[in-house]
Amino acid sequence: MISVIHIVGARPQFVKLAPLYHQMNNAGFSQEILHTGQHYDSNMSDNFFTTLDIPSPNFNLAVNNLSHGAMTGRMIEKIEQILQNKSYNYIILYGDTNSTLAGAIAGKKLKFKIIHIESGVRNNDNFMPEEINRVLTDRISDLLFCSTCLSYNNLINEGLKFNNSNCYNVGDLMFESFVNNYKNNCNDISNNILFTCHREENVTKNNLVEIISALNQLSKQFKIIFPAHPSTKNKIIKYGIECNFQILDPMLYRDLLDQIAKSKFIITDSGGLIKEAYWLEKPSLSIMRNPVWPELLDANVSYNATPAHRDIINGFQKLELIKKFKKGIFGSGDTSKRIVDIIIKNYKNE
């Protein structure tokens, strides 16, 4: 029996975990889940496990609300304490959070095999904490599963194919979760913009003022739906930023998919929400110095803007030009089976 532990800590990771957990369960894997606690609000964490029919975590470290260094260091320490008494065949990590990097470092130091889901994503912004987490995790992983051809080619160009690592383009687990959970029950499209904002670069005072100012302008023509990350809401209050639209609590996964479907446009700095907008054929604007998914820009289904009022407004005006959505950028929806088949083959060849 193949034994694994999934290390997760944030909303997108729970969404990616769900289809793989169920596929591994069907294949007879022994599985445990470690939740670092990075997202600790019930609407960002506990409710996702219930909605996605994932068992409650076996371990919850409750590490959150710290600086990047303190958070990552505390996670490494606590993860190591758990792993020292375990004998998993693989540690499975997802995406690009501090939880991802902490799991990779703790696991590799203890000589566990590391699997990284969503490997090879690059936006070449080394001031972005997520980019650092991606690159370092890929560098020490044993099995690297990519969501797109571009991500796979990034790993090949970095030489990881020849660094005792095995790289595979298997598609996107989030797409599989989307297919499993979206029921296509939306009949009316409202004059709404769904807006989210949480990345570190965007919640500095100057950038957040610019972003909210642009959304305030757009709120004169559109209804802004803003399910706010708790830390973003706290920053808006702390900085005394005037927000001319309602700040909502985070939404459950299926409710968020329904809201995307009902909205006319999406503005976000979430790499996951950008993909969900694409699958629901909604024109989207990402707010980042460098976009996480250039594949969507190359396919002319999304635009990117820097966190500046004028750039956001100019980028938004281009969204009306998006009419056609190229299919298949993130695979065909069978990612979990492909991953499980590769892991079984790798295990038998050990």
Of 3, 141, 9, nearest in space to 79 by CA: 9
Q: How far, in Å, are 90, 141, 146, 169 from residue 152 at the CA level?
A: 21, 14, 6, 6
**C-alpha dihedral sign at 315, 318, 322, 326:** negative
Active site residue 198: yes
Beta bridge partner(s), residue 7: 34, 93
Positive/negative CA dihedral, 236, 238, 239, 244: positive
Q: How many CB atoms lie within 10 A of CB 333?
A: 18
What is the full DSSP assignment across 296-315? HHHTTSEEEE-SSHHHHHHH
| DSSP-derived pairing of the beta strands 143-146 and 166-169 | parallel
Distance CA 83, CA 92 (A): 13
Pair of tokens at residue 334: 């069978």
Q: Do the beta carbons of residue 140 and residue 164 sit within 8 Å?
A: no
Half-sphere exposure of 54 (CA within 13 A, CB side): 30
**Contacts of residue 111, Cβ cutoff 8 Å, sequence gap at least 6:** none
Interatomic CA distance for residues 195 and 238, integer angstroms = 20
Q: What is the CA radius of gyration of the chain?
A: 20
Question: Among 116, 198, 229, 309, which one carries the catalytic annotation?
Answer: 198
Q: Is 150 exposed, middle or buried (0-12, 13-18, 19+ CB in 10 A)?
A: middle
Q: Which residues are catalytic?
A: 198
